[in-house]
Structure 1
């Protein structure tokens, strides 16, 4: 997929990976880039910088996601690429209350489902369209906080299902699974976790460049760091050994 003259929406676009993608898409010659985020001022700042359009959206609210899509297509024309990129976490495991689990699932998984629910009929009618869904290496390798890892696993599974179900009908699907990235989400991590990830941390701009390459090659899985694929291969080759290694990593993270 080439971005020139395309209409693109990026949720979570006010900072981190989302902002870097929005900037990079515009440099590729996108006709319109909509920077969607619940932080209105930050979204407006990025949109103004790149000559895009800002939208204030809480992706956990289906009506707001639907309105984002309707307003974008009314203003700019049909959406060629929709990037479900917003993400949050909650620190802990099963001891966390249901409300915390639901909040993370609503943003990290259900926002992808709601966007696809609204967009797929339109894209299928046109016979084209691309969905880019930001998951995480945690969605492949189960790292750190349980709600984050579980929701990202689900996001990967949903992206796979979309590709299997609609890939032969003109719908492109890509799943972005970065490891450590210099974003506000990473800044909130403990010093121990940041230290463990230090050798593999990349900039948001590096991730955006990988996204451009992945879209151009129409790849499903976009992995900005080589170690992720290596760990996936180790996991598949010897799951028991891989789990022992991950237990050591978990213990070191504290």
Structure 2
């Protein structure tokens, strides 16, 4: 898909990857860009920076009603949604199975059900019009896991699986689906130095946006701003036990680091 003349909705677009994507879509000639975020003032600032083709709408993706309202408002204003970028995410806190249920629940909603709810809201209208684009922002953690945070790694796996299922179920009916799986990117979530242990190569949102645009043009499933992720994923599939052993060593090193 070429983004020119398309109506695009981007969630989590007040900063980071989402803002970078919204800005890039506008530069590539989108007819309209909906900058959606739970932080409306910051979303408005991004939309104002883009110009007349952008509007800001508040959306808490942990609430299905908010997602339904977002799609409804975008459709009423612009006649339909051509591309939906389900991008919002949270990092939470470092830890494992001891972390409280409330944190796990937030992660499940934002990294899992938000994509389901978005697809429920927007995919039917896309199929009625002959097609559309649905992109899920997951993470390299969704393909490879992450040693610092069990909720993050587990729920990002769910995000990848949801994107896969949508492509399987609707790919022959005109829906194009991609899944964005970066490693470290310069965002609010990584500003304090958190991120995957031992991973270098922090990219800018603009660099990620370039990969996303190219992926959408080619209609490939995986958008990998860090190409080495493909090699790690291949190694995981070729020898799962060896890969798990390497991750165990990485986890042990992480736990030995001074806090």
Partner Cα separation in structure 2 for residue 44 and residue 252 of structure 1: 42
Name the structure with the higher helix share: 1
Partner of 1:252: 253
Q: Give the alignment of 1:40-51 within 5 angstroms.
A: 40-51=40-51
Partner of 2:101: 98
Structure 2 residue runs without a partner (length 5+): none
Answer yes or no: is 1:120 the counterpart of 2:116: no
Answer yes or no: is 1:186 the counterpart of 2:190: yes
Partner of 2:141: 138
Q: 1:194 Cα shift?
A: 6.5
Aligned 8 A contact 1:186 1:194 in 2:
no
Q: 1:153 Cα shift?
A: 0.3
Answer yes or no: is 1:153 the counterpart of 2:151: no
Report the 3-state secondary structure (helix = DSSP H, G, I; strand = E; otherwise coil) of the residue aligned with 1:55: strand
Partner of 1:71: 73
Partner Cα separation in structure 1 for residue 60 and residue 193 of structure 2: 23
TM-score in terms of structure 1 length: 0.96
TM-score in terms of structure 2 length: 0.94
- Once the two structures are superposed, residues 46-96 of structure 1 have per-residue CA deviations (whole angstroms, 9 ceiling, x without a partner) of 000002100011011111110100000111121000000000122211111
Q: 1:160 Cα shift?
A: 0.4
Partner of 1:59: 61
How many pairs are equivalent? 251
Partner of 1:166: 170
Aligned 8 A contact 1:13 1:19 in 2:
yes
RMSD: 1.2
Aligned 8 A contact 2:183 2:196 in 1:
no
- Once the two structures are superposed, residues 77-124 of structure 1 have per-residue CA deviations (whole angstroms, 9 ceiling, x without a partner) of 210000000001222111112111001111111110000011122111
Change (3 A) 1:66 1:206: same
Structure 1 residue runs without a partner (length 5+): none
- Which contiguous aligned blocks of 4+ residues in structure 1 show a shift greater than 6 angstroms? none
**Which sits farther off after the overlay, 169-178 or 142-151?**
142-151
Partner Cα separation in structure 2 for residue 139 and residue 60 of structure 1: 19
